[in-house]
Structure 1
Amino acid sequence: MSLIQAILIGCVAALTKIEGGWLGEMKLREPIVTGFLVGCILNDVQQGLIIGAQLQLMWMGAVGIGPTAQLDIGTGGTIGVAVALTTGTGAETAIMFGVPIAILMQFCSTILMTLYSGFMARVDTEIDNFNLKAISFYHYLVGVCDFLMYAILTFIVMYFGNSAIEGIINALPDWANSGLTAVSVMLPCVGFALLLNIILDKSLIPYFIIGFIPAAFVGRDLSMIGIVSIAFAIAWIIFELKSTVANNNVVTAVSSDDEWED
């Protein structure tokens, strides 16, 4: 990896950190976006998109709720795709390096946030004095610190650690490679399960089935299981609609009786 490529990849990782605070929610941190950008930098856009999409399926269910810390998927996805492309491997390598890095960088981000809390007393004072320039200074100072930390750490990993990373990949035994490949296949399922655990409602299950069956049988003949599943989903939807109508009629009838009694 060249010096310029390592610097650019470091900038991509840094942008994933500051995009929420400075650039708005542009989704630069999503693995499919960072995969594309890293692919452009390393002259392999197609493979970068493929690996990024696989990581996207895995991490789409990783949602930070309340005080729960979210994994730093921006840096993890960026470095994971970069390692996979430079070593000529696939999503299994991206996962092997991306997940630990996502956890580590989230830990570093927590330390930074703790250090930034020392600025808050000074900012409160500047607010009382209505010193907007000083408030803006601290705002941009925090963003510059975030950018530099993420860019420098990513650059060091990609430029100075590239040979070490290749050595680790080449030293892995066949059973470890097979296990990582199996994990890369299973983790997208875990990501979907985490996402469905958050958003899935019982009434949405038949629509999920109807959407899943065509996707599962693309390029294949629709089996009896698929046909029965679609029929079951349609019957479920009809039952739900009729139950809703019946309940509405009952509520309307009860309301009419109450009005007559009044």
Structure 2
Amino acid sequence: MVVQSFLLGLVAVWGVLDYQLGTLYTFRPITIGPIVGVILGDLQTGITVGASLELLFMGAISVGAYIPPDVLIGGILGTAFAISTGAGLETAVTLAMPIALIALSISNFIAALTPTFLKFADDAATKGDSKTIKKVHWLMGAIGALEKFLLVFFAYYLGVDVVESVLGSIPQVIIDGMAVAAGMLPTLGFAMLMRMILTKKIIPYYFLGFILTAYLGMPVLGVAILGVIIVAEKFGFLSGVKEAVVGANNEEVDDDDF
């Protein structure tokens, strides 16, 4: 148990380092889930739960001042508890979002305290002391990594028995209801994503994809390939002329939300 908790904590640390490596998005549940599955000896469940949680958290991205739930912690612990309790996707769905919200609250509290260290960096910048600036930079990063590690380590190490007892006390009708909700999560995830990106110019392509799948029976892969072709033509990749750039220089583009 200690070894598994430690390894899961290291996965959380990797999720933090993902931002330092250029934001590769390897901290997303679809990537983290299989890794958790390997650590806990159930790769298949890790893949299944990770993919399902990715749909749930699809719209959970930082846009402007909006800070989304902690996808990393929710994905790791949701998948880990689903595997360790043997309850599968229903457990992941039940626990992932609450865990992600609690982890976000903890992160916000810590984020309100850590800026006090920036004063040392400001003073060092005034003196031209680059070494101190580097130390503060590493310290801030280490605090974030340590926070995620401890959250995952102690939550998994101390929480499995508690989660199992809680699950045992939940009526079967609620478990069945969560199973139904799990089937609706992809729609919720896509709706959250569309709410942020849907504009007047994009809406025709949305309905085009809907018609192709709902009425013409085209598979999702076919719609995706068609979308790539439309993008290639729209941005002038086929002719070598970036029409979008030219259009932006010659006329005002209306990008209001739909």
- Aligned AA (2:58): M
Partner of 1:6: 5
Displacement after TM superposition at 1:131 (Å): 1.0
2:95 match: secondary structure: helix
* 1:217-236 mapped onto 2 (5 Å cutoff): 226-227=215-216
* 1:11-22 mapped onto 2 (5 Å cutoff): 11-20=10-19, 22=20
Partner of 1:42: 40
Separation of aligned partners in 1, 2:129 and 2:6: 36
- What is the RMSD of the two structures over their aligned residues, measured on CA atoms? 2.5
Structure 2: segments with no counterpart, 5+ residues? 219-229, 235-258
2:59, 2:189 within 8 Å by CA — same for their partners in 1?
yes
Separation of aligned partners in 2, 1:209 and 1:68: 28
Partner of 2:182: 184
- Aligned AA (2:11): V
Partner of 2:151: 153
* Cα 1:146–1:167 shift into 2, 3 Å: same
Partner of 2:57: 59
1:68-116, CA deviations, whole angstroms, 9 ceiling, x for partnerless residues? 2211101101100000011112222112111111111111111121111
1:19 match: secondary structure: helix
Displacement after TM superposition at 1:50 (Å): 1.0
Separation of aligned partners in 2, 1:190 and 1:227: 24
The structure that has the greater radius of gyration is: 1
Displacement after TM superposition at 1:209 (Å): 4.2
1:215-262, CA deviations, whole angstroms, 9 ceiling, x for partnerless residues? 66xxxxxxxxx1399xxxxxxx9xxx9xxxxxxxxxxxxxxxxxxxxx
Displacement after TM superposition at 1:63 (Å): 2.5
1:18, 1:146 within 8 Å by CA — same for their partners in 2?
no
* 1:1-262 mapped onto 2 (5 Å cutoff): 2-20=1-19, 22-212=20-210, 226-227=215-216
2:120, 2:136 within 8 Å by CA — same for their partners in 1?
no
Displacement after TM superposition at 1:7 (Å): 0.7
1:24 match: secondary structure: coil
* Cα 1:14–1:228 shift into 2, 3 Å: closer
Segment drifting more, 41-50 vs 194-203: 194-203
Displacement after TM superposition at 1:143 (Å): 1.4
- Aligned AA (1:11): L
- Aligned AA (1:79): L
Partner of 1:221: none
Partner of 1:248: none
1:28, 1:74 within 8 Å by CA — same for their partners in 2?
no
1:51, 1:94 within 8 Å by CA — same for their partners in 2?
yes
Displacement after TM superposition at 1:214 (Å): 6.2
Separation of aligned partners in 2, 1:183 and 1:158: 25
Total equivalences in the alignment: 222
Displacement after TM superposition at 1:186 (Å): 1.6
1:31, 1:55 within 8 Å by CA — same for their partners in 2?
yes
Separation of aligned partners in 2, 1:34 and 1:130: 41
Displacement after TM superposition at 1:127 (Å): 0.7
1:29 match: secondary structure: coil
Separation of aligned partners in 2, 1:48 and 1:210: 34
